[in-house]
A and B are shown apart, each in its own frame.
Chain A
């Protein structure tokens, strides 16, 4: 009996939706084995990882806190990935966005006014946008690979932040810790659920996802992005500019990452510190793929990844599991997803069965 693998004439829709679930199941199974290998009780650890965060109000609120930046960045990246624009420097754009927003917060420190938060958001988005403009410019003008430049600039962004919080922006009353002053009240995002850290940014992220969905499915711009990504030659015939698409998707992704940075600084952190995120900019790449590059799918995927962060923190406390375990889970999830995507584009057939049919007829 022979197996024959053949490309499907069209991608399988049922499998497109089923593969994230398959990938998650395989990841949990691998996690079981990993925990066994590390000498931990697998059932108990997985429970800590996946279930316990969902049982308390605070856990659910934290899910929103951590999913918000992932949604914002993931949506931005997904729009780029659809057009074959590989911005993987969202972490750096997030950092520069947070710096810009932090600059506004510190410049007007102690002042009151409803305009401060919106001004921070604008500054943050402009910061991220400007930082993404560098690889976009190099890509469109000199054809420099955006993957490498955007990533290199991430290291630079982190060093810029480090210069500021260790130097001129350091809180003079902060016992010499590398951090800025705590932002004043009017530069902090309002809390949605009293007693938790769930902030307004989570709602904004949801709104952005819906807006992105409309952009992609209902507008000509969305159509252009799709065509440029899937059929560059056809796009040229249709007069859709590849360069414009690079600019558009990079700047959009940068602005959204900058907004995510603003929300981190003005939300759960409330100041600038050397390490703003546990790598949201990179995790958002996984989120984008897990969500099938679809804005609404990305919301679901971001919640799953947020769960892995909180679960990782819980397991760190209860099972003294290193924080790095989260990264292993996230990497495995993406592997399994990419592997099971094979089923979306190919089908496996039993060759022997077919031959019998031929003989019978």
Chain B
């Protein structure tokens, strides 16, 4: 019983990690006042790059940074278009997703069906061998810990660091931030690159640990769910963390209910769960008593061009 419980929790963590990485990245982007809808595309580019580099070099330790770089490079395209050339952020984000789906499929065509060794679980002497707590807390791979560490880092950065304060100022009122001398565009560029790198890492987790293999369109809407998680988390890192794990739970619950399906429902009905859950959660969050507590950055999605 306890073993099953531990196993289930481990799968929940695995399902939550790509969402957490991508959503935390997007949170920083949105706190800087930029709406990048291309998360799905950046995740796919990261997934295929991480996979290809790992296969070519034989080292996931090279594949993972490559995935982050590829995600950041994809985000750079978005940043140049929206921040320098003032293109519509919604349209550019959609273009990034369409482009990312196509390019990743093109890059990955020769890797379909290639197996890869999943990321090793870190073994901490002593800790990992503890009963229950060991496998629960200390039996995951490096990206899982990295995702939590980065979320903590982002939470600290936004709340306690001077740079984080500047970033929030840029996101709340670009004009005011500019007028007291903060480099609005540069801050937004950096935020976009960070968001891209995080989405890339999320993708790499899918292709190197979760699946582990490369498939066309393997993110299956996770980039969009990550975007929804940022709204769900009211632009706060800790709530995004909770949301990611909640969604990981929904995904796994779906698999288990599907497995123990006694009522004879078609499996596709259960596959709808994460998408319907997203719609339901967004509705609950946007309506009702939580409404007042939503704190979307005031400049979110608004283009800014320094007047001088």
Do the beta carbons of A152 and B105 come within 8 Å of each other? no
Chain B residues within an 8 Å CB radius of A58: none
Q: Does B14 contact A (CB under 8 A)?
A: no
Shortest CB-to-CB span from B76 to chain A, Å, is 12
Given known pairs A142-B283, A322-B106, A327-B101, the reply for A156 and B276 (CB within 8 Å) is yes
Chain A residues within an 8 Å CB radius of B305: 7
Residue of B at shortest CB range from A328?
A: B102
The size bracket of the interface on B is 35 or more
Do the beta carbons of A324 and B272 come within 8 Å of each other? no
Q: Mark A155-166, 1 if CB is under 8 A from B, else 0.
A: 110011011001
Do the beta carbons of B81 and A324 come within 8 Å of each other? no
Shortest CB-to-CB span from B46 to chain A, Å, is 16
Shortest CB-to-CB span from A7 to chain B, Å, is 8
Chain B residues within an 8 Å CB radius of A32: none
Chain A binding surface, main DSSP class: helix
Pick from B109, B231, B268, B279: contact of A322, CB under 8 Å: B109
Chain B residues within an 8 Å CB radius of A322: 105-106, 109
CA distance A167 to B266 in the complex (A): 8
Q: Does B282 contact A (CB under 8 A)?
A: yes
Within 8 A of A (CB), among B76-123: 77, 80-81, 85-88, 90-92, 94-96, 98-106, 109
Do the beta carbons of B94 and A338 come within 8 Å of each other? no
Given known pairs A155-B221, A156-B275, the reply for A144 and B282 (CB within 8 Å) is yes
Do the beta carbons of B283 and A342 come within 8 Å of each other? no
Do the beta carbons of B227 and A148 come within 8 Å of each other? yes
Q: Does A88 contact B (CB under 8 A)?
A: yes
Chain B residues within an 8 Å CB radius of A346: 86
Chain B binding surface, main DSSP class: helix
Shortest CB-to-CB span from B305 to chain A, Å, is 8
The size bracket of the interface on A is 35 or more
Q: Does B173 contact A (CB under 8 A)?
A: no
Q: Mark A259-289, 1 if CB is under 8 A from B, else 0.
A: 0000000000000000000000011011001
CA distance A163 to B268 in the complex (A): 6
Do the beta carbons of B216 and A138 come within 8 Å of each other? no
Do the beta carbons of A86 and B266 come within 8 Å of each other? no
Pick from B95, B220, B282: contact of A331, CB under 8 Å: B95
Q: Does B66 contact A (CB under 8 A)?
A: no
Do the beta carbons of B85 and A339 come within 8 Å of each other? yes
Do the beta carbons of A331 and B103 come within 8 Å of each other? yes
Do the beta carbons of B91 and A327 come within 8 Å of each other? no
Do the beta carbons of A156 and B272 come within 8 Å of each other? yes
Given known pairs A167-B266, A338-B81, the reply for A149 and B91 (CB within 8 Å) is no
Given known pairs A138-B283, A285-B94, A335-B95, the reply for A152 and B102 (CB within 8 Å) is no
Q: Does A341 contact B (CB under 8 A)?
A: yes
Given known pairs A155-B221, A339-B85, the reply for A289 and B105 (CB within 8 Å) is no
Pick from B266, B275, B283: contact of A155, CB under 8 Å: B275
Chain A residues within an 8 Å CB radius of B221: 151-152, 155
Shortest CB-to-CB span from A355 to chain B, Å, is 17
CA distance A102 to B247 in the complex (A): 34
Do the beta carbons of A335 and B102 come within 8 Å of each other? no
Residue of B at shortest CB range from A5?
A: B305
Chain A residues within an 8 Å CB radius of B283: 138, 142, 144, 149
Shortest CB-to-CB span from A76 to chain B, Å, is 16
Do the beta carbons of B98 and A147 come within 8 Å of each other? no
CA distance A162 to B266 in the complex (A): 10
Given known pairs A324-B109, A331-B99, the reply for A148 and B224 (CB within 8 Å) is yes
CA distance A283 to B268 in the complex (A): 25
Shortest CB-to-CB span from A148 to chain B, Å, is 5
Q: Mark B220-233, 1 if CB is under 8 A from A, else 0.
A: 11001101100100
Chain B residues within an 8 Å CB radius of A323: 105
Chain A residues within an 8 Å CB radius of B94: 88, 282, 285, 334
Given known pairs A148-B227, A152-B279, A286-B95, the reply for A330 and B90 (CB within 8 Å) is no
CA distance A167 to B265 in the complex (A): 10
Shortest CB-to-CB span from A282 to chain B, Å, is 6
Q: Does B269 contact A (CB under 8 A)?
A: yes
Pick from A142, A285, A326, A341: contact of B287, CB under 8 Å: A142
Do the beta carbons of B275 and A163 come within 8 Å of each other? no
CA distance A332 to B216 in the complex (A): 19
CA distance A307 to B31 in the complex (A): 41
Chain B residues within an 8 Å CB radius of A286: 95, 98
Chain B residues within an 8 Å CB radius of A153: 275, 279
Within 8 A of B (CB), among A159-181: 159-160, 162-163, 166-167
17 contacts across the A-B interface (CB closer than 8 A): A138-B282, A142-B283, A142-B286, A144-B279, A149-B283, A152-B228, A153-B275, A155-B221, A156-B272, A163-B269, A166-B268, A282-B94, A324-B102, A328-B103, A334-B94, A334-B98, A342-B86
Q: Which 5 A-B residue pairs are closest in the complex by CB-CB distance? A: A327-B102, A331-B99, A324-B105, A142-B287, A338-B87
